[in-house]
Amino acid sequence: MEPPQPNNKKRVGIVGLGLIGGSLGLDLQKQGYEVYGLVRNSAIVDRAKVRGLAQVIDTNPKILKSCSVIILALPLSQIIKPPKELVTSIPLNAVVTDVGSVKTPVLKVWEKLHPKFIASHPMAGTNEAGIDAGKHDLFKGRPWVATPNEDTDHASLEVIHKLVLSLGSKWITTNSQKHDEAVALISHLPVLVSAALLHTTSQKEEKNSEATLAKLLASTGFLDTTRVGGGNPNLGLDMAMNNTEAILDVVNLYKASLEKLERMLYEKKWDMLSDELSHAQSIRSHFINT
């Protein structure tokens, strides 16, 4: 599909200019949108201006009054409990979307707050955060999931669809429960699995001195496996608090998978273990080739 021509007159308000909001600001301006950025802290206004994250940057929510599209690029916890003055500054005729990593609780809150709300989630990121993290082309080629329900306004969905395509993202729609179960599996479970691996090295350190040697020997494999578990704790906490049931469900499946491998070592079932490791290799290749 051809990316649609952006509407040059469209004014987009971005709430929060961190990694996601800042990247959106850079790319949307490049696509011809007029971008207004709302930040919480006056100390970062100048830095955001120097970086050119938006044409207008302010700490006053009133700047949203003239925007026809508003993107909530806040941490999940703030999207779910939005400040009252933010909500009252959003014009009723604006199309509003968010970028939170869990969709059911967001939809539950915002479908009551705004008639033209579209719950969405760009599957893109880096390890960076803050006003200096935003970068061009962060969303290019990455999935951007929207989770409409029966009450969703179709014209508003189409507005976000067009905006997302202009960023070069792959548009996917599903329901919020399916989205939340999928991210529990491929995004939230890895955080816990990986954090537990870091904790294990620390427990071992308390027991004896091999962990010091382990630190000297740790290679790229260890660093890759622990990257998401050693990431921003606030992101991990937000996921855990807002997608608890789906995460607990996959943690249970995970423990069974790990115990199956453990039993093969314990019982020295080497042929079975070999098959399971080959299976793991094959599963991953499907993820890469999708």
* Closer to a copy of itself by Cβ: residue 109 or 197: 197
Give the nearest distance from C-beta 255 to a copy of itself in angstroms. Answer: 7
CA distances from 114 to 7, 86, 97, 210 (A): 23, 12, 10, 56
CA distance 217 to 280: 25
Segments in the chain forming alpha helices (H): 19-30, 45-50, 76-80, 84-89, 104-113, 154-166, 176-183, 189-207, 210-217, 220-225, 233-242, 244-266, 270-289
Residue 90 near residue 70 (C-beta atoms within 8 A)? yes
Phi, psi of 15 (to 5 degrees): -100, 105
Give the nearest distance from C-beta 138 to a copy of itself in angstroms. Answer: 12
Structure tokens belonging to residue 285:
């290749």
* Closer to a copy of itself by Cβ: residue 47 or 204: 204
Give the nearest distance from C-beta 7 to a copy of itself in angstroms. Answer: 28
* Closer to a copy of itself by Cβ: residue 164 or 264: 264
CA distance 117 to 27: 22
Residue 194 near residue 230 (C-beta atoms within 8 A)? yes
* Closer to a copy of itself by Cβ: residue 165 or 195: 195
Nearest to 76 by CA among 112, 32, 25, 110: 110
Give the nearest distance from C-beta 6 to a copy of itself in angstroms. Answer: 25
* Closer to a copy of itself by Cβ: residue 153 or 222: 222
Give the nearest distance from C-beta 136 to a copy of itself in angstroms. Answer: 17
* Closer to a copy of itself by Cβ: residue 66 or 285: 285
Give the nearest distance from C-beta 143 to a copy of itself in angstroms. Answer: 5
